[in-house]
Amino acid sequence: MTAARGPLRPLYAQASGSPIRAMLALAGREGMVSLAGGHPDPALLPADWLRESLLEVAGQLQGRSLQYGATEGLAALREASAALLQQRGLAAQAEGLLITTGSQQAIDLLARVLVEPGEGVAVESFNYPAALQAFRFAGARLVEVPTDAQGMDVDRLEAILQAERPRMLYVVPNFANPTGAVMPVGRRLRLLDLAAQYGVTLIEDDPYGELWFDAAPPPSLAQLNQQAGSPAQVAYMTSYSKVVAPALRLGVLLAPAGIARGVVLAKQAADVHSGSLEQLTLAAMLASGRLGAHLDALRPAYAAKGRALAEALRAHCGLLEFDEPQGGMFIWAKLSSALPLLPTQAWVDFGLQHQVLVVPGAAFSISGAAQPWLRLSFANPAPEALRQGAERLGRGLRSLATAH
């Protein structure tokens, strides 16, 4: 007799939901300041540009615009995306690109097509939680590679690759979520060498690379690999969520042909193709030539917010240590040893008590165990709310230290 189980597969029945999503449910409360979400600033989302493109698309709609489309994506959007990747230094052709439903879908599909249940996926100590979730649902064994202020610690990687033999390695080299770290070029080159040597497929996730403050990040792993004659297998993905709008749910994947073929098959099974109206709208937005000017406006706006939060944290949060953000949306702050190590729920309670939401490091760790880190996002709140949030956080942390 087989043991009784509920309707869900154990993998799903036992999974916990994202603590960040749970916090977001509290973010809308009256008077709350949320440093928790990684969502763009609504004031910086291009509603006018999108509206104009949407009207243009609506004006040209015909029956055939409403037909099923190619799984790989709308030709015009693949062309525009290839041009964008070329501007980033990548040799990309429209035919080699796949349009996905957000980069989240690319992460999910890659895990499904590359990893057998029980095979290893190497990840940093702290990661974007929905990527970890996708790897877990694919049945992967998560293999931790230590991370520091410069991203994945590649000096420790070789021994891990030898011992664990992971099938793929997931990395966010630019302004990582949650650490904000940028991997220096020397580490990128070493990572590529090791990936080629040990036959590990690299999954390079780059949603934040365009949101730099003073200087663009180094060349992508995919670009460095191409320049070296492509000795490693690198699947590069990026997203329109942070540079245009998350509502469109559109991302781009550039992967070696063999891998792309598997992802196309998996996407046929998942959703056939990404929404055509969103793809048409984004293609029209990109064809208008306004993305460059939009990015030129986004960068200083996010830089000002990142600096405003950093300055306010320095003024009010002596119990935190952090590096000045260089881009992206996050400050990764280390908690002083004068503070207790608290589980995630305690930080939710802290948020309710002090009217400031922060995400504890545990939410990004593989084990989910308490960590002496907080992720603070400066992207969403208005500048005044950022200052108020830092003040409340400082007060709350001091009261925790006193009670400790």
Ligand X SMILES: Cc1ncc(COP(=O)(O)O)c(C=O)c1O
Query: 190-193: long-range contacts at Cβ-Cβ below 8 A with a sequence spacing of 24 or more?
Result: 190/154, 190/155, 190/157, 191/152, 191/154, 191/157, 191/221, 192/221, 192/224, 192/225, 192/228, 192/231, 192/232, 192/234, 193/232
| Segment holding 103, helix H or strand E | helix 102-114
The DSSP 8-state label assigned to residue 126 in this structure reads B
- To ligand X, the closest distance from the beta carbon of 177 in angstroms equals 4
- To ligand X, the closest distance from the beta carbon of 208 in angstroms equals 7
Near ligand X by CB under 6 A: residue from 205, 210, 278, 391: 205
Which range in 98-106, 113-121, 220-228, 336-344 contacts ligand X by CB under 6 A?
A: 98-106
Coil, strand, or helix at residue 291? helix
CB-nearer residue toward ligand X: 328 or 394: 328
Contact between 247 and 274 under an 8 Å Cβ cutoff? The reply is no
Does residue 225 bind ligand X (CB under 6 A)? no
> Count of CB atoms within 10 A of residue 261's CB?
13
Does residue 194 bind ligand X (CB under 6 A)? no
Does residue 210 bind ligand X (CB under 6 A)? no
Q: Partners of 171 in the beta sheet?
A: 204
- To ligand X, the closest distance from the beta carbon of 58 in angstroms equals 24
Does residue 128 bind ligand X (CB under 6 A)? yes
CB-nearer residue toward ligand X: 104 or 388: 104
Near ligand X by CB under 6 A: residue from 172, 202, 203, 280: 172
Does residue 103 bind ligand X (CB under 6 A)? yes
Does residue 207 bind ligand X (CB under 6 A)? yes
CB-nearer residue toward ligand X: 275 or 343: 275
Classify the phi-psi angles of 97: left when phi > 0, otherwise alpha if psi is within -120 to 50, otherwise beta: beta
Coil, strand, or helix at residue 202? strand
Does residue 239 bind ligand X (CB under 6 A)? yes
| Segment holding 84, helix H or strand E | helix 75-87
Those residues whose C-beta lies under 8 Å from the C-beta of residue 293, and which sit 6 or more positions away, are none
Near ligand X by CB under 6 A: residue from 38, 46, 129, 389: 38
Does residue 251 bind ligand X (CB under 6 A)? yes
Residues near ligand X (CB under 6 A) are: 38, 102-104, 128, 172, 177, 205, 207, 239, 241, 246, 251
